[in-house]
Amino acid sequence: MASKPEKVKVGIIGCGSIAPAYVRGCTFFSSILELAACADIDLARAQDFALEHDLKTYSVDDLLADPDIQIVINLTVPKVHAEVSLNIIAAGKHAYSEKPLGVTREEGQQILAAAEKAGVRVGCAPDTFLGGGIQTSRKVLDDGWIGEPVAAVAFFAEHGPEAWHQNPHFFYQFGGGPLFDLGPYYLTALVSLLGPVKRVMCSARISFPERIATSETWFGERIPVEVPTHVSGTLEFVSGAVATVITSFDIWADTLPRIELYGADGSLSVPDPNAFRGPVRVWQVKNQEFQRREGGGWHEGSWHQVGWQDVPLTHDPQVSRGIGVADLAYALRSGRPHRASGALAFHVLDIMQSFYESSERGQAIALTSQCDQPAPLPLGLLQGTLDE
Ligand X SMILES: NC(=O)c1ccc[n+]([C@@H]2O[C@H](COP(=O)([O-])OP(=O)(O)OC[C@H]3O[C@@H](n4cnc5c(N)ncnc54)[C@H](O)[C@@H]3O)[C@@H](O)[C@H]2O)c1
Q: With contact defined as beta carbons under 8 Å apart, do 319 and 276 qualify?
A: yes
Angle between helices 105-118 and 342-361 in degrees, nearest 10: 160
CA distance 172 to 78: 11
Q: Which residues pair with 231 in a beta bridge?
A: 204, 247
Residue closest to ligand X, measured at CB: 16
Residue 74 or 369 having the CB closest to ligand X: 74
Shortest distance in whole angstroms from residue 74 CB to ligand X:
8
Please identify, using beta-carbon distances, which residue of 77 and 313 lies nearer to ligand X: 77
Q: Give dist(CA 284, CA 286) in Å, integer.
A: 5
Contact, 269 vs 260, CB < 8 A?
yes
In the three-class reduction of DSSP (H, G, I as helix; E, B as strand; rest coil), residue 244 is classed as strand
- Contacts with ligand X, residue ranges (CB under 6 A): 13-18, 40-42, 45, 60, 75-78, 80, 84, 98-99, 167, 181
- State which residue, 17 or 309, has the beta carbon closest to ligand X: 17
Least CB distance from residue 138 to ligand X, whole Å?
22
CB of 65 vs ligand X, minimal distance in Å:
15
Q: Is residue 243 a contact partner of residue 154, using CB atoms and an 8 Å limit?
A: yes
Q: How many beta carbons lie within 10 A of that of residue 142, not counting itself?
A: 10
d(CA 118, CA 347): 21
Q: Which of residues 11 and 263 has its CB atom nearest to ligand X in the complex?
A: 11
Shortest Å distance, C-beta 274 to ligand X: 8
Taking the complex as a whole, how short is the minimal distance between the CB of residue 227 and ligand X, in angstroms? Answer: 13
Closer residue to ligand X in complex, CB, 283/356: 356
Supply the minimum distance, in Å, between the C-beta of residue 342 and ligand X: 15
Residues 6+ apart with CB under 8 A from 103: 78, 79, 81, 82, 174, 175, 180
Cβ proximity to ligand X: between 268 and 345 the closer is: 345
Reduce the secondary structure of 263-327 to three states and give it as a string.
Answer: ECCEEEEECCCCCCCCCEEEEEHHHEHHHCEECCEECCCCCCECCCEEECCCCCCCCCCCHHHHH
List, in sequence order, the alpha helices (H) in the chain.
19-28, 43-53, 60-65, 81-90, 105-118, 132-142, 177-181, 183-194, 323-334, 342-361
Tell me whether residue 124 or residue 329 sits nearer to ligand X (CB atom): 124
Supply the minimum distance, in Å, between the C-beta of residue 52 and ligand X: 13
Residue 149's DSSP bridge partners are: 263
Residue with Cβ nearer ligand X (146 or 340): 340
* Shortest distance, position 23 Cβ to ligand X, whole Å: 12
Minimum CB distance to ligand X, residue 82 (Å): 11
The residue (of 89 and 194) whose beta carbon lies closer to ligand X is 89
